Amino acid sequence: MKIQEADAKTLLVAQGLPVPDWEVARTPDEARIAADRFFAAGSRQVVIKAQVLVGGRGKAGGVKLAGSPEQAELVASDILGMDIKGITVRKVLVGPAADIVKEFYLSAVLDRAARRILLMGSAEGGVEIEQVAAERPEAIVTVHAHPTLGLLDFQARRMAFAMGLGGHLRAAVAIAKGLVATMRAYDADLVEINPLAIVTETDGDGTTRERLVCLDAKITLDDSALVRHPGLEELRDPDEEDPADREAREAGLTFIKLDGTIGCMVNGAGLAMTTMDLVKRAGGEPANFLDIGGGARADKVAAAMRIILADPKVNAILVNIFGGITRGDEVARGLIEARAQQERDVPMVVRIVGTNAEEAGRLLAEARFDTASSLDDAAAKAVAASRAARSIATAGKAGTAGSPA
Amino acid sequence: MSILIGPETRLVVQGITGREGEFHSRAMAAYGTSIVAGVTPGKGGQRALDGTVPVYDTVADAVAATGANTSCIFVPASGAPDAVMEAASAGIATIFCITEGIPALDMVPAVELVRSVGSRLIGPNCPGATSPGSAKVGIIPGSIHREGRVGVVSRSGTLTYEAVQAMSDAGLGQSTCVGIGGDPVIGTTFLDILQLFAADPETDAIILIGEIGGAAEEEAAAWAAEHLRGTPMAAFIAGRTAPEGKRMGHAGAIISGGRGTAESKVSALEAAGIRVAASPTELPALLRDAGYKG
């Protein structure tokens, strides 16, 4: 689960990391009031940042500076409601604009191959780290945290010196260790600070000093661990979650919407991906990834059917079940029940093999379902059904348009 | 011989009195697996599976009393990493963790402990393994197998069943089928299993079933290119149509920052001389094309 920058910063602060002050505003008015406070505290400029869970906010015009509270209000009214990669901006972060001396990159991520937390740092901050990694891999410093002890002081020091942060050693070590601590405290997959920056801060009396701070923050949480962090589940942004995604999550289904016309219902993630791949190979476009999981019963099947049919683009459904823990007859009963209740009838091709497949076949035959025996055959039939549905729809429209008034 | 499990397997089931644990223990016993013990803390002294299997409070007790050498874990996600560490600490050589939904960072110290005592962990979030004709550990339906000499390794569950069924239907029997699990942090990788198959005199050909995410297929392909040139192999990769940045059901199945794509895996396998099927049903034909005569 991705969380907003402002929420990520809250978690970093809770772990003792240095993050410049900020406020979240939902209206231009709130943005002006927040900016007013920062100007009163001595800021000469504030930054207004769109809070959306997609990259490239800056390029899309979602990050802007303002020189007065009134300008902050104007800028916020521009950004609020803006569409960034299909997502409407509903919140902005307002904070004092940093006087940056130098930018760095620092992140902690789970390294699957090493089965450890990997810390990555670079003196080239504020840019896409993937680009740095591809062009100048030597500019990235890495170290693996110990699997049980976490990041050790000497590892953090080595990292800091290699990144050119020797002048801010104490802060750099604390931040590096803090990233690993943050990962472990909240079960994050990724904690990324880009940029980590040396900034010049001016006190009320005009004296200046340099400080190493986390200017931006990105945190991705492990979905499997949310159950033990009830507070973090609340950070899920309802504005950015599709209603179908929510219904699927609440029904215990794994659902990912795609752009095609053939709805897929499968048990098991690998087989669900394969079913999508075979639909595509047969000349169709999958409308979704949907894994009903192991041991799914009739009610789960009915929920899955509702979610698939809620997508108006779906004009055919492919059900592919390889029974192991899942019993084929349970799925067949669920399908029969779901079809009796559904408001929209679309052609459906069902393939059920494995545990209790014979009973499933008998039930489906009685209920006059279109069935298939092999996976390739099922995909081909579903694609044909989708094409037929589309040509009927097109013919219907053409007929209406051509008929005399 | 086969790999990981066989006639020598003496299995302890951790979580044998739970719903899943009991159901699958019955299937494993029916397949002919020697289940010597069960473990459920607080139920030591009871007997499971209609009185045929003694239950112990701890894995150490079960090992001391029965000489168990292999474990299968059906413990819920909150307790599964501890169950893995308990099995390793009790001297279990081969540990299968079936449990799904374990927080990834919980597995980091567990995998480290397993490694430090010299045990082997398969999974978590895996279907287990079958050595057709001798033993089955986990949840793979026994009926799909056929005895033979093809080794099968996969990151998936039901997709593995699909591929194995296609193999059996085509008359290609298996030496051992292993599901290594779909999580980001797993105990045993494709590479580890390829090395075991390479050393197994009863495995003559290998099927690898991968999916998007991570770089384990690429790593295995690089090793196969050097060490398995003479072994007939074929592969399948799931997720050619998966969008970037979305977790496709398995916690580990995600393309991020352009890495972990199906294209990358397919080209690494093909560069190693391993043909990649467009559908699991094509695997038997590809394996025969690669020179397998079985």
Domain assignment of residue B294, yes or no: no
Verify that B41 and B157 share a domain, yes or no.
no
- Please identify which of the residues A30, A73, A192, A330 carries the catalytic annotation: A192
Domain extent for B159: 140-289
Per CB-CB distance under 8 Å, the chain B contacts of A322 are 158, 161-162, 165
Q: Quick check: A294 and B157 CB within 8 A?
A: yes
Considering only CB atoms, B278 lies closest to which of A258, A281, A289, namely: A281
Is A154 part of a structural domain of the chain?
A: yes
How many structural domains does chain A have?
Answer: 3
Q: Is A318 inside a domain boundary?
A: yes
State how far residue B65 is from chain A, nearest Cα, in angstroms: 31
Beta-carbon-side half-sphere exposure of residue A294 (alpha carbons within 13 Å): 19
Helix crossing, A298-309 with A243-251: angle to 10°? 170
Q: List the single residue in A147, A325, A354 with the smallest CB-CB distance to B108.
A: A147
pLDDT digits (tens, 9 = 90+) for B203-256: 999 999 999 999 999 999 999 999 999 999 999 999 999 998 888 888 888 888
Q: Are residues B163 and B58 in the same domain?
A: no
Chains A, B: CB contacts under 8 A, how many?
162
pLDDT in tens, B45-91: 999 999 999 999 999 999 999 999 999 999 999 999 999 999 999 99
Q: Give B208's contacts in chain A (Cβ within 8 Å).
A: none
Work out how many domains chain B is built from and give that number.
Answer: 2
CATH number of the domain to which B277 belongs: 3.40.50.261
Asked which of A217, A241, A265 is the last residue of a domain, the reply is: A241
On whether both B196 and B255 belong to a single domain, the answer is yes
- Domain boundary residue, one of A80, A97, A114: A97
What are the strands, taking DSSP E only, across A237-334? 254-257, 262-266, 288-291, 316-323
Is A405 part of a structural domain of the chain?
Answer: no
Residue A402 in any domain: the answer is no
Choose among A184, A223, A375: nearest Cβ to B280: A375
Report yes or no on A355 lying in a domain: yes
Asked if residue A255 and residue A389 are part of one domain, the reply reads: yes
Contact A273 B239 (CB under 8 A): yes
Q: How far is A112 from chain B (nearest CA, A)?
A: 6
A chain contacts of residue B161, beta-carbon cutoff 8 Å: 322, 324, 354
User: Are B157 and B47 within one domain?
Assistant: no
End-to-end CA distance of chain A: 54
Q: Which domain holds residue A76?
A: 21-97
Q: What is residue A126's predicted lDDT score, i.e. its pLDDT?
A: 78
Q: Are B136 and B179 in contact (CB under 8 A)?
A: no
Angstrom distance (rounded) from CA A160 to CA A176 = 8
Report the residue from A224, A271, A374 with minimal CB separation from B102.
A224
The residue from B24, B145, B227, B250 that is catalytic is: B250
Q: Are A123 and A234 in a shared domain? A: yes
- B92 with B162, same domain: the answer is no
- The verdict on A275 and A343 lying in the same domain is yes
Q: Are residues B113 and B18 in the same domain?
A: yes
The span from the CA of A381 to the CA of A233, in Å, is 41
Cα B67 to chain centroid distance, Å, stands at: 23
Q: pLDDT tens digits, chain A, 405 residues: what are they? A: 889 999 999 999 999 999 999 999 999 999 999 999 999 988 999 999 999 988 788 889 999 999 999 999 999 999 999 999 888 999 999 999 999 999 999 999 999 999 999 999 999 987 788 888 888 889 999 999 999 999 999 999 999 999 999 999 999 999 999 999 999 999 999 999 999 999 998 776 778 999 999 999 999 999 999 999 989 988 887 777 778 888 888 888 999 999 999 999 999 999 999 999 999 999 999 999 999 987 778 889 999 999 999 999 999 999 999 988 788 999 999 999 988 888 788 999 999 998 889 999 999 999 999 999 899 999 999 999 999 988 877 776 554 444 443
Residue A211 falls within a domain, yes or no? yes
Question: Is residue B71 domain-shared with residue B209, that is, in the same domain?
Answer: no
Same domain for A143 and A193? yes
| Same domain, residue pair A304 and A375 | yes
User: Is there a single domain that holds both residue B278 and residue B149?
Assistant: yes
Which of B60, B92, B122 is the endpoint of a domain? Answer: B122
| Domain presence at residue B5 | no
